Amino acid sequence: MTRALTATEGIQRKSTQRALWVGSAVLFLVGIFGAGTVSELLAYLLVVAAAFLPTVLWFRHGRVGVPILPAVAALHILYYALPIVRSREDLSEYSPASILLAAATVSLYLLAAALAAYPMLSRVRGQEGKKMELISGSQLKTMVFLGLGLGVLFLGALAAGSLWWLGGLFGLVRAIALTSLVVACYFLGVARGRGVLRGRSWLLAASGLGLAILISWSTLFLIGGLVFLLASSLGYISTRGKIPWLVVTVAVVLVSILHAGKEEIRNRYWQQGQEEGQSTGLLGVPRLALEWFKAGVNSLGTTATGRSALDRASLLQILLRVEYLTPAYIEYMRGDTYLLLPGMLIPRFVDPDKTKSQAGMDLLNIRYGILSVEGAEKTAVGWGLIAEAYANFGLVGVGGVGLLLGLVTGALTRWSAQSSGVSVSTLLAIAVMAGLINLEQDLSGLLSSLMQSTAAVFVFAAVFRLFPRGRGLPRPHTSLPRTALPRQFESSVSPDLRPR
């Protein structure tokens, strides 16, 4: 048995090494052929190397615990590195030195996070790091179907407009349902990677995941469904040590088509009286899906220019604008956005007029001329932790927030490595990872959901305890730190951010 496990681990290790080498080679070639100048290539490689480092370190430490920082860091390639080599018009007004400085800023942030996170894993023993394997197949299935059931039930009721009676408790119920759904998506990937979900059970689980994504996308925002997809993919990758290329390819093609038709379909439905972010209702979901897909295919087949899904994801132009204006034209904010946090921590059912979670982001958008006061009431432009930190304290702030990110994610990864797969620590680590992969959040908005997220993990763990468990296998324990699942949102199309 031990020899068989060792052989399996060796195969997985080689598969992971191969995936890392292939990924590195592909990204390097993208930079070589995409960069117009040596300066652009250097800026691109700075971000890619810093974003790849947490994944390499996590692999060298035996792939223990939930890979929070590797997942978050890798997304910085999409948001900050790839826009450098795509010859975007909104970056053409900035000098090569400015772009190189922005790339160095992102690298500083990621290196600080890695520096703070990975010393915590150096003392994790091999057996401690394998406690995820203590979950039985029946436990995995219970967790997957319980979370999918709660999540789909909530999303369906929300789409049907049946949750109006919750009032101020809506945020808490939403956190419980969506946290349960994200956890279920991650363990769906784990179960598939371990071969637990097969045949009818796999078909049922995949159908539940697809239904959750479909209902989530009926709000005409893509971010919710993408988080579910990414969580399940990360669960599979962390278990099998290889990337499901077919699933990734299909997902990229589908998201590209939907993004291409997003503007047309939003204009069509929102002009018909549907409020922004509101679902079309359960009965209207199939028709909306067909219309949206058709609009996307038609849009891709025309010669009209527009922003691609990759361009839409960029946060680089925000950072360039902030570094161009601060402190030459706009003084550092010296923590003004962070001071909004106490007012956000009050539950809405206690104070209906509490500070909204987007207050910090609105303050930044108005101060830097990205949105007017009236515009901030109708739409949102995400900033991310890096640009916000620079606007407050410059490079010192960027390094400090990076260290904070590394300490939190490192502690949660180590804690999940030392706990069973059904422990509250593991559930919380998964929930935090799913929240952090939305890079457009500001720090106060990220931390404002602390109480709701903690309650959501406790409730899900308590409900899970009511179901039968495998013989000799642990139930979830309830010792956890105070940490949060951030509220997820998708910002609107960013306006022109060229320097004035």
pLDDT in tens, 55-81: 888 888 877 888 899 999 999 998 899
Q: What angle do CA 239, 439, 155 make, to 5 degrees?
A: 75
Task: Report the pLDDT value the prediction gives residue 495, as an integer from 0 to 100.
Answer: 40
CB 290 within 8 A of CB 323: no
pLDDT digits (tens, 9 = 90+) for 309-364: 444 557 898 999 999 999 999 999 999 999 988 887 776 667 677 778 788 888 99
pLDDT in tens, 377-411: 777 788 999 999 999 999 999 999 999 999 999 99
Q: CA of 188: how far to CAs of 155, 201, 229, 414, in Å?
A: 18, 11, 10, 22
Q: Which DSSP category does 93 fall into?
A: T
C-alpha 20/C-alpha 18 separation (Å) is 5
Q: Are 208 and 200 spatial neighbours (Cβ–Cβ below 8 Å)?
A: no
Asked if 82 contacts 27 with a C-beta cutoff of 8 angstroms, the reply is no
- CA neighbor of 269 nearest in space, from 492, 103, 261: 261
Distance CA(325)–CA(308), nearest Å, equals: 27
Whole-number percent of the chain with pLDDT over 70: 79
Q: Is the CB of residue 218 less than 8 Å from the CB of residue 483?
A: no
* Model pLDDT, residue 498: 43
| DSSP-assigned letter for residue 77 | I
User: Sign of the C-alpha dihedral, residues 372, 374, 378, 384?
Assistant: positive
Give residue 472's pLDDT.
43
What are the tens digits of pLDDT across the range 260-307?
Answer: 777 778 777 765 555 555 556 666 777 888 888 888 888 766 644 445
- 464 or 27: whose pLDDT is higher? 27
Closest CA to 61 of 148, 160, 130, 158: 130
